Amino acid sequence: MSWYEDFLKKFFHDPIDKPFDIPSHEQRAKEYAGLFNIAEIEEGKYSDQIASCMERSLLPKGIKQDFNEIRHPLCEGEIKLDTTINNQECMKEISNLLKEISEYFINLFHEQKAFLIWRNLLEELIEKVSNKDLKKLIPILPADTRTPDHSIWEHLKVTTAIKVYESYQNNSLLLFTIGPVQSFISQARKAQDFYMGSFILSYLTFIAIRKVVEQYGPTSIIYPDLYKQPLMDWYLKKDEKLDIKCDDSELKDIITLPTIPNRFVGIIGTTNKDRIYSLVNEIKEEIRKEIESAIDNIIKELDLPQNEKIKSAIINQLSDFPQIYWVAIPWRISEKDVQIEDLKDFFTDEKIKYWQEFYNFAKENAEHSPNIGFLYQLLYTAVEKSLGARKNLREFNQLKKQEENVLYVVKKMFCFIGLTENQFLY
């Protein structure tokens, strides 16, 4: 199944207005999916279970909570809802707006539909809604009224990132980084140097991200969030020819800002080693092509002679750039989900014991038995540790074409200190 078909089924598994009426939310989800010609949304329930476990693993059994507040995910900040808000009126307005908006999507291909729903739907609703209180709430409507510290939009992003086939999840956590950063900083002499170094790394990282997006969709990138990222909007406009909700003049002003870090974390829908290697090799090839294209443009702009010797010299100068490191950890091994003990090489015995007790507590007391989503924190820590270990492995390429030049320089050095060429020991 293509990423966009998978995305659409999972995006509509929960309605945007879910917190206004929990008991009827499944029926509303089917109705809203139908407006966009999306069927079989029940296939997204397994991805939903994993995403829910990642976000709210320890909800006790039998807990219910009316929609009366929204909490900040990182602090004690909260928004108490005005009692004048009418849940039924809010649901009715959202339903009417979705009917209106869906008319534009009817004749689109699934890939276009998926990209535009991900990028434009929230802004379309905010722009069109007439209720001022609802307008403020739409971006932060919680996915669960019992733990109202994460929005329905974030929950849908995570759910659509997780790939499940016939009830078995098949995902890996990928961490990819491009450098070097420190040498860019150490060699910078002006503010412009710092800026260009940051932009080059930011842009090349996006080239890598773009390859993952093409195969697994925009929500597969967990960090950085691609929503309203200038380079992502530029890609959707330029390559996908989509009408994105952003001002062209504003995008032109911010497109050259280095808004993407030199690393990304993604959930990719495969645990197959060969497929992961193939993806990374495709990413490296895209980066190589982009660098060569930049070299051609530089030669053209500086009006240099169009010959292979100049191009070869520039490429040779960049032989150690960029430095690419990556690590992927599968969530499934030998046809079963990764267990806590499978990660024992990354953590102390005390840490493993603590998590095992934590897991058992959740299994006995939580509303739903914990799944692989419960271990996301451990998996992320393991992938970070793995990347650190990988970076400590220094590698080099033997430059055979330069061996004679190096030997010549060494000979001259010995001659300088009084040895003749005949005295030089090979």
Note the pTM of the prediction, 2 decimals.
Answer: 0.89
What percent of the chain stands above pLDDT 90?
A: 68
Residue 106 CB partners (closer than 8 Å, separation 6+): 36, 37
356 versus 39: the higher-pLDDT residue is: 356
CA–CA gap between residue 386 and residue 309 (Å, rounded): 40
Residue 83 CB burial class (10 angstroms; 0-12, 13-18, ≥19): exposed
* Stretch 135-163: mean pLDDT: 96
What percent of the chain stands above pLDDT 70?
A: 92
pLDDT at position 420: 47
Mean pLDDT of the chain: 89
Name the β-bridge partners of 142.
Answer: 151
* Stretch 255-272: mean pLDDT: 95
Residue 424's pLDDT band, with cuts at 50, 70 and 90, is very low
Q: Number of C-alpha atoms within 13 angstroms, CB side, residue 326?
A: 22
* Stretch 184-188: mean pLDDT: 79
Lowest mean pLDDT: which of 73-87, 269-283, 411-425?
411-425
168-329 homologous superfamily: CRISPR-Cas system, Cmr2 subunit, D1 domain, cysteine cluster (3.30.70.2220)
pLDDT at position 302: 81
Name the β-bridge partners of 328.
Answer: 174
pLDDT in tens, 168-178: 999 999 999 99
Domain ranges of the chain: 3-162, 168-329, 338-391, 396-426
pLDDT in tens, 52-61: 999 988 888 8
pLDDT at position 313: 81
> Long-range contacts of range 65-70, CB-CB < 8 Å, 24 or more positions apart?
65/145, 65/146, 66/145, 67/19, 67/20, 67/142, 67/145, 67/148, 68/145, 69/148, 70/137, 70/140, 70/141, 70/142, 70/148, 70/149
pLDDT at position 425: 40
Given a cut of 80, whether residue 124 has pLDDT beyond it is: yes
